[in-house]
Amino acid sequence: MATFTKQALTEDANGEGILVARSATAGTTIHTTTSGTTFDEIWLYATNNHSSAVSLTIEYGNTTSTLVIEQSIPSKSGLTVIIPGLILAADKIVKAYAGSANKIVIFGYVNRIT
């Protein structure tokens, strides 16, 4: 039987959010999965306190241009769902970059499935 445990993102152990400081690939690291047969169910949310919308690119698993999720984050609209519980495993990395550096903050958590 599978066991679920809620975990902080590897780059946000205190839950304060991760500032997306990069504006090009390879992005700011958000989370790194563990090795082996453990899966991470990843939940990410973004907020934008800038005066206009900012594009956000999530590099999901690696920095290959075909493995990205792109979304526009509206200005001052609270939290926007970015990753709604997708799974990832085996030493993969989630990174993010934005159209404007230092405008987007990412929050989230992981349900680790073993």
pLDDT tens for each residue of 14-31: 999 999 999 999 999 999
In sequence order, what are the residues at sequence separation of 6 or more whose Cβ sits closer than 8 angstroms to the Cβ of residue 18?
A: 9, 11, 12, 28, 30, 96, 105, 106, 107
Q: pLDDT for 62-114, tens place per residue? A: 777 678 999 999 999 999 999 999 999 988 999 999 999 999 999 999 999 99
Rounded to an integer, what distance in angstroms lies between the CA atom of residue 84 and that of residue 81?
6
Q: What is the phi-psi region of residue 21: left when phi exceeds 0, alpha when psi lies from -120 to 50, beta otherwise?
A: alpha
How big is the chain by its Cα radius of gyration, in Å? Answer: 14
- Looking at residue 65, its pLDDT comes to 67
Rounded to an integer, what distance in angstroms lies between the CA atom of residue 113 and that of residue 4?
5
